[in-house]
Amino acid sequence: MSPTIEKKQKEIRETKCTCSACSNVWYYGKEEVSKNRGAKMNQVGKAMMCCGGCLPALLIPNREVVDLAKCPKCGSKAVTKEVVTHYV
C-alpha cells in the first residue's frame, strides 16, 4: 500500500431535535429507531398472543417504547427535527 492513500472517513447520521417549548436539544440515531421498532413489534406480538387466548403471553415482560418525537424534558410534541451528519 502506498502512503498516499487516505483513510476513508466514517459517516454518522443523527437526527437533531429541538423542543419549541423549552429549547431542549437531543439527538437520536438509527440504533434508537431500530430498538424502538423492535419494542413496538414485541408489544404487537404479545397483544396478538393474548387475544388468541395464550395465557403464558401475560408473563412476557413489556419492552419500553419511547416516543422519539416527544421532548424527554417537558413532554411537548412541538419539536423541530433536522438530520445532522458527522464525519469521524
Question: Alpha-carbon distance 48 to 65, whole Å?
Answer: 17
Asked if residue 8 belongs to a domain, the reply is: no
Domain that holds residue 39: 13-87
What's the pLDDT at 83? 95
pLDDT classification of 86: cutoffs 50, 70, 90: confident
58 lies in a domain? yes
- Whether 21 is covered by a domain: the verdict is yes
The answer to whether position 35 is within a domain reads yes
Q: Is residue 69 part of a domain?
A: yes
Number of domains in the chain: 1
| Residue 63 domain-assigned (yes or no) | yes
Contact present, 25 and 36 (Cβ < 8 Å): no
Q: How far is CA 11 from the centre of its chain?
A: 18
pLDDT single digits (tens) 30-66 = 999 999 888 888 888 777 777 777 767 667 777 777 8
> Residue 23 domain-assigned?
yes
- What pLDDT, on the 0 to 100 scale, is given for residue 69? 87
